Structure 1
């Protein structure tokens, strides 16, 4: 049985400092390998349920080409991950008074040639997303396979973040970012910590 408590090895002080100074933070070796492998398997098992993310209500978006599956109780291992994020949100609330009370998340798959153009997750504060997170779940990745997260920090400096397995990126949802074209299958959980007036 995989533990469901907040991972004690996460350096929350470092996370808070990096978010405060730069607007983003990178965490490597997020989980023990037993849980990481099981989570990867859960995602792969559901691949046939993924749908094109660029199609919303019949309208095709041309800025993204990935495929996603929104998470619910049918993915219990992924649910543990979102529970950890909600616990992290409480830490953010104590430090930054963000009012986070909800996490929305989906599995994401970028196949060969797929990407997501430059965007913000909370453009002009039109939704309740406060913090964005991306957790990489593929079991192997090489630097020349692309799929990097290109992110502009609070000081308008650009960063290229390689999607290494078992790595998570946490960043302010207002920051500009993009997913560069992937050359291999790239798997992740993308999640947003929200301050909804009414929890779903």
Structure 2
């Protein structure tokens, strides 16, 4: 996949307008089929390295039950997605003066029965997360398999976003959201576009 520029399927003007008006945006049909297949293969081949996301520094969180693997330079296919988000960050910086200078990301696996309760990725501006980006990388999904993203937009309107294959959900990191219980294994990449002093 070519990442020197943003994928042509990404409607940048619409994304900017959606974020400005509502605080979130959706990109469907984000990548070519061959890239999705390679990304799923990379994710599945590394599932044995995923860790319980609820355990951090020996402390168990009760609000989440998914499993994650942080993306580094050894995960070449996933790095291409991170690079695309870096190019998108340049658009955000021009439009919103966001000051984004870094993208951090991890694979996430929600097995049947797993969830992530209501939370904010950047509560009260306590970290540098400006925009959150969830990419659904499974190749097949059915509406009754759960795992939806439930999100409150900047106008306090609630939305339920289905984890359709090859979809990216972008939203302000200070918005309240949750992942509803999955009834089937759900794979994704969660990323955060970061700065040190986000002003929204």
In the alignment, is the contact (CA less than 8 A) between 2:9 and 2:29 conserved in 1? no
Which structure 1 residue ranges, 5 or more long, are not aligned? none
Deviation readout 1:118-146 (Å, 9 max, x if unpaired): 00000111100000000001111100110
**What is the Cα deviation at residue 8 of structure 1?**
2.1
- Aligned partners of 1:4 and 1:29: how far apart in 2? 16
In the alignment, is the contact (CA less than 8 A) between 2:141 and 2:165 conserved in 1? yes
**1:3 equivalent in structure 2:** 2
Deviation readout 1:114-171 (Å, 9 max, x if unpaired): 0000000001111000000000011111001100000000110000000000000000
- Aligned partners of 1:65 and 1:38: how far apart in 2? 26
- Aligned partners of 1:57 and 1:118: how far apart in 2? 21
- Aligned partners of 2:196 and 2:33: how far apart in 1? 33
Deviation readout 1:84-104 (Å, 9 max, x if unpaired): 001100100000000000000
Aligned CA RMSD, in angstroms, stands at 0.9
- Aligned partners of 2:97 and 2:196: how far apart in 1? 14
- Aligned partners of 1:4 and 1:131: how far apart in 2? 20
Which structure 2 residue ranges, 5 or more long, are not aligned? none
**2:188 equivalent in structure 1:** 188
TM normalised by structure 2 equals 0.96
Secondary structure of the residue that 1:114 maps to in structure 2?
Answer: coil
**2:26 equivalent in structure 1:** 26
**2:165 equivalent in structure 1:** 165
In the alignment, is the contact (CA less than 8 A) between 1:130 and 1:193 conserved in 2? yes
**What is the Cα deviation at residue 4 of structure 1?**
2.4
**1:41 equivalent in structure 2:** 41
Deviation readout 1:12-55 (Å, 9 max, x if unpaired): 00000000000000111000101111111111110000000000
**1:107 equivalent in structure 2:** 107
Deviating beyond 2 angstroms after TM superposition, the runs of 4 or more aligned structure 1 residues are: none
**What is the Cα deviation at residue 3 of structure 1?**
1.8
TM normalised by structure 1 equals 0.96
- Aligned partners of 2:132 and 2:71: how far apart in 1? 16
